[in-house]
Amino acid sequence: MSTEEAPEPETPAGTEESSEADLFGVWDVSEISYADPSTKRYITVTPIAHTMGRHASKQFQKSQISVVERLTNRLMKTGQNAGKKQQALKIVREAFEAIHERTDENPVQVLVTAVENAAPREETVRLKYGGISVPKAVDVAPQRRVDQALKFLADGAHSDSFKTPTSAADALANQLIGAADYDLQTYAISQKEEKERVAAAAR
């Protein structure tokens, strides 16, 4: 009786399954590079853009959610867009397509770079000494840095598209491209620079 194992059937050419799924079925998220090591663990990139709120009741679990979904959730913060997740996802998807057309780069990489560039390193807190409020400069925690960057990007997209001919997707694409290029005219970068300028004056 032979003890040799039967050979495994060969996989036909062109039918290999990729180990990583793609975001929105288009964008590869397996080779994203990070320039800032302090925020790397808080900028999660996954091919899942809608987790159905599974982390909503767990403290500090938001960092495990894809940064794309976190940006989408930020776009729903205003009263008019509250709860419209599918509409916000459509805006992000169209913005990514516009970014790829303009820069010929992976829009997920552009988003990660924009978040890193727009994350403030210093901010001020108010300390009270005998009834007198004194501003004090403090370092920003990495998780809060990512939170602030996403807030600036979403607020900038909203301000550029609210009651203007610019669509929300184009406004978001402009913010992400500008922040990734560290354009000081971009809302997110200007807000970061303002926070750090005020903190520098309060040292």
Check pLDDT > 90 for residue 57. Answer: no
Query: For residue 93, is it within any domain?
Result: yes
Query: For residue 67, is it within any domain?
Result: yes
Query: For residue 56, is it within any domain?
Result: yes
Query: For residue 136, is it within any domain?
Result: no
Mean pLDDT is lowest, of 64-68, 94-98, 114-118, 189-193, for 64-68
Q: Could you read off the pLDDT of 169-201 as tens digits, one per residue?
A: 999 999 999 999 999 999 999 999 999 999 999
**Structural domain harbouring 71:** 40-119+143-185
Query: For residue 53, is it within any domain?
Result: yes
CATH number, domain with residue 91: 1.10.455.10
**Residue 10, φ and ψ in degrees, nearest 5:** -75, 145
Instruction: Please give the helix or strand (H or E) that residue 144 lies within, else none.
Output: helix 142-161
88 with 75: CB under 8 angstroms?
yes
By the 10 Å C-beta count (0-12 exposed, 13-18 middle, 19+ buried), 57 is classed as: exposed
User: Nearest to residue 78, comparing CAs of 163, 166, 191, 176?
Assistant: 163
Q: Could you read off the pLDDT of 11-48 as tens digits, one per residue?
A: 444 433 443 578 888 888 888 999 999 999 999 898 88
Query: For residue 50, is it within any domain?
Result: yes
Query: For residue 34, is it within any domain?
Result: no
Query: For residue 157, is it within any domain?
Result: yes
Predicted confidence at residue 11, as pLDDT, reads 40
pTM for the structure as a whole: 0.83
How many separate domains does the chain show? Answer: 1
